[in-house]
Amino acid sequence: MASSPLNPKSHCHARSNSLPSRPHPLILQCDQHLCKLAASDATSSSSSIGHKLNGMQDLHDCVEKLFQLPLTQQAIVQESQEKWVDEVLDGSLRLLDVCTAAKDALLHTRECARELQSIIRRRRGGEMELTTEVRKYLTSRKVVRKAIHKALGNLKGIEKKCTFATANKDHQTVALVSLLREVEAVTLTIFESLLTFISGPTQSKRSSWSFVSKLMQTKKVACTQEADANEFAKVDMALQSFMFQMTGKSDNINDLQNQLEKLESCIQDFEEGLESLFRRLIKIRVSLLNILNH
């Protein structure tokens, strides 16, 4: 039965029980990292996602070391015509593509947020210039969401099918293949969480107008909405409120600036984690290509 890479539950238990002999210590170490990630906080907060990105770096460091082992290289060379090798190669490129999509979304949002901050800090040009910049930011967020939804759609279309026949295969090779599949599945799951976090909640025009109506009616509802939102969504909501309020916009400027500063800090943390992870993914793909082209 096919399984989605976006649902890695129970990976660390199912595989270890199926192996009849003790795998290489590095495979066991990778297993430990996988289990830590599986047991990590399931909430979608900036701190929890940042923690998972750090855990992913440790995991892929371990995988990169695994590719340096002679037994791993020998298994890949001997099985180079097998479909699972192509799957691993395709998977390494897929991870790089998703990581790049996340990096681009953060970069685009950060650049627009800094432009907006610059206008607020200068306090020049009056409300008209600020309103124009707010519109630009909200438009850019639509572009970011569109790109993210496309990336998420591509992820959800991925199904991993069991194409690796274990008959006449040594236990180390079986463990290696199983591990690499799990690493891709968990990595894609965390990337999915990150992309969803950056995108924020999606709303139809009708629900969006309903939200604005509630914002206009009472500050209590606005505070409830904001309490449940992440750094990206809070800025979106603050700007939507700014655009739809006809009076008292200047009263919200300080709060908006505070939200933008928090957003920039969040983006910086994510970018640092993604850049470090991206370098590791590159090293793993290069190692794999070198083994196959040796």
Residues 72-95 have pLDDT tens digits of 999 999 988 888 899 999 999 999
Residue 131 lies in a domain: yes
**CA angle, corner 194, sides to 190 and 197, nearest 5?**
140
How far apart (Å, rounded) are the C-alpha atoms in residues 254 and 189? 36
How far apart (Å, rounded) are the C-alpha atoms in residues 204 and 206? 5
pLDDT of residue 43: 73
Residue 250 lies in a domain: yes
Q: 242 or 205: which carries more pLDDT confidence?
A: 242
pLDDT of residue 119: 84
- pLDDT digits 0-9 by tens, 232-271: 999 999 888 888 764 445 566 878 888 999 999 999 999 9
User: Considering the chain, what is the average pLDDT of its residues?
Assistant: 81
Crossing angle of helices 171-199 and 231-244, in 10° steps, is: 20
CB 76 within 8 A of CB 294: no
Residue 4 lies in a domain: no
Bridge partner residues of 160 (DSSP):
3
Other CB atoms within 10 A of residue 289 CB: 12
How far apart (Å, rounded) are the C-alpha atoms in residues 137 and 119? 12
Residue 73 lies in a domain: yes
User: Is the confidence at residue 231, as pLDDT, over 90?
Assistant: yes
Sign of CA dihedral 260, 261, 262, 263: positive
* pTM tops 0.85: no
Q: How many domains does the chain have?
A: 1
Residue 249 lies in a domain: yes
Residue 6 lies in a domain: no
User: Looking at residues 215-242, what average pLDDT do you find?
Assistant: 69
How far apart (Å, rounded) are the C-alpha atoms in residues 127 and 105? 28
Residue 26 lies in a domain: yes
- pLDDT digits 0-9 by tens, 39-61: 887 777 999 999 999 999 999 99
Comparing 122-126, 142-146, 155-159, 202-206, which segment has the lowest mean pLDDT? 202-206
Residue 3 lies in a domain: no
Residue 241: burial class (beta carbons within 10 Å; 0-12, 13-18, 19+): buried
User: Is the confidence at residue 223, as pLDDT, over 60?
Assistant: no
User: Looking at residues 145-158, what average pLDDT do you find?
Assistant: 87
User: Is the confidence at residue 107, as pLDDT, over 50?
Assistant: yes
How far apart (Å, rounded) are the C-alpha atoms in residues 141 and 232? 10
- pLDDT digits 0-9 by tens, 171-186: 888 889 999 999 999 9
Q: By residue range, what is the domain housing residue 152? A: 11-293
